[in-house]
A and B are shown apart, each in its own frame.
Chain A
Amino acid sequence: MAQLYLRYGSHAEKEYYLKALSLFDGMMVGANLLEATPAATISLLVQLCGKKSKCSFFIDPMTYAFGEYIDPASKDIRKDLDWIKSDQKIRGQTVRQLKRSYRKLAESLGTGFTSVYNNGASKAVDQFKDISSLCNGVIEYQKNRFNELIGKDDELNQFIDSLPKPKGLLSPYFFIHEGNKKSLFELTCQMAQYCADSNLNDEVYSVLCIDKPLLNDPLFDACIEKLVTLKIKGLWLWISRFQEENEQEQLLEKYLSVANKASKSGKQIFNMHGGYFSLLATHKGLTGMSHGVGYGEQKDVMPVVGKGIPTVRYYLPPVYKRIGIPEIQRSFSAIEVKSVEDFISKICDCAICRGILKKDLDAFKEFGEMYRSSEDAKRQAQTPAAAKKCRYHFLLTRAKELKRVREVKLDTLIEDIDNAYASWSRSQVMKGSLEHIERWKKVLSGKIE
């Protein structure tokens, strides 16, 4: 049965989790967030994933953050860890050093972790000498960090008897790209093997974090071949820059074939940042996925900074894609949406949409409301209220999609997307926005080798 975990980005998202997490299987929390805000994170996990809850959670150890990375602008390989640093005032002087949360995380991941990172820079992979110590530190962190943090905090002591345990333990992982692929694919397998062999009573997952082109690399295939023979429960796949809506058929087929291979070997396989195609892929072997609330259905390993707050666009359920409000409204005539009833039957019947459209069909614009955040702002930005409505609508829609994917056969789901294409392609303004549907249909209808 398809599984879906929401990835907790920050405590600003807390209300979405309180209201909607129960619709899903659980959540994934970054270890950096746990270090930055231990009390808030632990109390939330106790509340949402505690012993009485059916929701579970994973802790992402975020080890990749301490490895080398590719500068998004220059494309250079960098080891300076600058993206997890900030300017800090120390004794009156400005010093650029690791952000507090990452510094605490590095310290908490054990002494073995110093073989990865030291003096503010990541080391070369061939300097990772003590794999056992590195793995032990990362696994112990996920097993025991809550207890350590609670022991230091009187307020947190109230949770000592109700602490939930992670559903599984993730082995350390680093970003694998063309420049380091040979050594890192090997290292990933070694780390997964060590973690699995030394934690036989726990469910251990390997994490494969790769640059998109490596999906076609023979070394990636060899790594998968090796991983599925290990005593791991499964693996989490993070394909940086992989966008389900935009990828060509060959790459989507490759993605499905990897899922199929893992599943046939009896291993679970998750996409760490997936969308609706990944939900469909659960009928081809994928176990599940995670994504954020607004929406994080794909993620580059290195965040692109300096582009302002992104607009949370309305997720258009019939086409499984985020589309602008005016484009949707301009399509109403083509798909014959003339009333609120038409909207509810043809576009979305979630509680958020029903609530907003209670007034009239024109109220649909509320999902896209814009404002100037300051008098001198050059561009308009989405209002926080509109972003919130879009997020809730998305979560309710995704929960409905998850339920349907679990309940019906793939043929029926393919019929769904086929019907959507037939209907929405009548809108001229949607032309060019529906190509993913044709690709998905073709790939999912094919036989996976």
Chain B
Amino acid sequence: MREIKKEKELLKPIANYLKDKGYARQMVEACFFDYAIDLYGYSEKKRRCVAIELKLYDWKKALKQALVYQLCADYVYVAFPESSLTRVQISAFSEFGIGFIAVSPDRCRQVLKAKKSIELMSHYKSEMIRMTKWGD
């Protein structure tokens, strides 16, 4: 199986995976203060938002970013290449309700389900939905 070597290679499989889950409206690099959320998705039907941080190696940095994204998204996930999964301490994510997705070029696998963020600030969620120009 081909290995994912660049962060941007994670994007397409994850975007498709989110679409399948109903998050049809998506924004790449959504601005939240100084942060650019790699992928922000919104499901009109469920009225839910999801934020995804893509990372190849630095899961600790991803965790910190994901914690911040819990302010503006109902669910937050970190996506990592399937091939690098052994490097990650998954329990660190579960402690904070952050989900985890393992990505291969042809599929995504939910390793850890995200819990609904208890840190969500509804005005941030509304602003993200309102301000974001949704792509296809």
Contact = CB atoms under 8 A, between A and B. Distances in A.
Interface of A: 311, 324-327, 329-330, 333, 362, 365, 368, 370, 379-380, 428-429, 431-432
Nearest to B127: A365
7 contacts: A326-B33, A326-B68, A330-B71, A333-B119, A362-B123, A428-B64, A428-B96
Give the top 9 A-B pairs by smallest Cβ distance, nearest first: A429-B67, A326-B68, A380-B31, A326-B33, A330-B68, A368-B33, A326-B71, A330-B67, A362-B123
B71 A329 contact: yes
B126 to A, nearest CB: 11
A216 B121 CA distance: 49
Nearest to B61: A432
B34 interface: yes
Interface in B31-74: 31-35, 63-64, 67-68, 70-71
B106 to A, nearest CB: 32
A73 B96 CA distance: 41
A428 B67 contact: yes
A330 B31 contact: no
A40 to B, nearest CB: 34
Contacts of A370: 31, 33
A329 B118 CA distance: 13
Interface in B106-136: 118-119, 121, 123-124
Contact of A327 (B63, B68, B124): B68
A429 to B, nearest CB: 5
B96 A326 contact: no
A85 to B, nearest CB: 33
Contacts, number: 37
B70 to A, nearest CB: 7
A324 B33 contact: yes
Instruction: From A324, A329, A429, name the one whose CB has the most chain B CB atoms within 10 angstroms.
Output: A429
Contacts of A326: 32-33, 35, 68, 71
A365 B119 CA distance: 15
Given A324-B33, A324-B34, A370-B31, A330 B119 contact: yes
A137 B34 CA distance: 47
Contacts of A325: 33
Contacts of B119: 330, 333
Nearest to A372: B31
Nearest to B63: A428
A258 B136 CA distance: 62
Contacts of A362: 121, 123
A413 B124 CA distance: 37
A163 B124 CA distance: 52
Nearest to B35: A326
Instruction: From A326, A327, A333, name the one whose CB has the most chain B CB atoms within 10 angstroms.
Output: A326
Nearest to B123: A362
B20 to A, nearest CB: 29
Contacts of B31: 370, 379-380
A311 B119 CA distance: 25
A110 to B, nearest CB: 47
Nearest to A311: B34
A327 B69 CA distance: 10
A368 B71 CA distance: 14
Contacts of A379: 31
Contacts of B121: 329, 362
Given A329-B71, A330-B67, 16 more contacts: A324-B33, A326-B33, A326-B35, A326-B71, A329-B121, A330-B119, A333-B118, A365-B123, A370-B33, A428-B64, A428-B67, A428-B96, A429-B64, A429-B67, A429-B68, A432-B64
Contacts of B71: 326, 329-330
A362 B118 CA distance: 15
A431 B35 CA distance: 18
B91 to A, nearest CB: 13
A410 B96 CA distance: 38
A429 B31 CA distance: 19
Nearest to A331: B67
Nearest to B32: A326
Instruction: From A311, A324, A330, A431, name the one whose CB has the most chain B CB atoms within 10 angstroms.
Output: A330
Contacts of B124: 365
B59 to A, nearest CB: 14
Contacts of B63: 428
A324 B96 CA distance: 20
A380 B32 CA distance: 9
A301 to B, nearest CB: 27
B92 to A, nearest CB: 9
Contacts of B70: 330
A365 B33 CA distance: 10
A176 B124 CA distance: 49
Nearest to B92: A428
B97 to A, nearest CB: 12
Contacts of A432: 64
A326 to B, nearest CB: 5
A428 B67 CA distance: 8
Nearest to A369: B33
Contacts of A365: 123-124
A77 B90 CA distance: 49
A333 B119 CA distance: 8
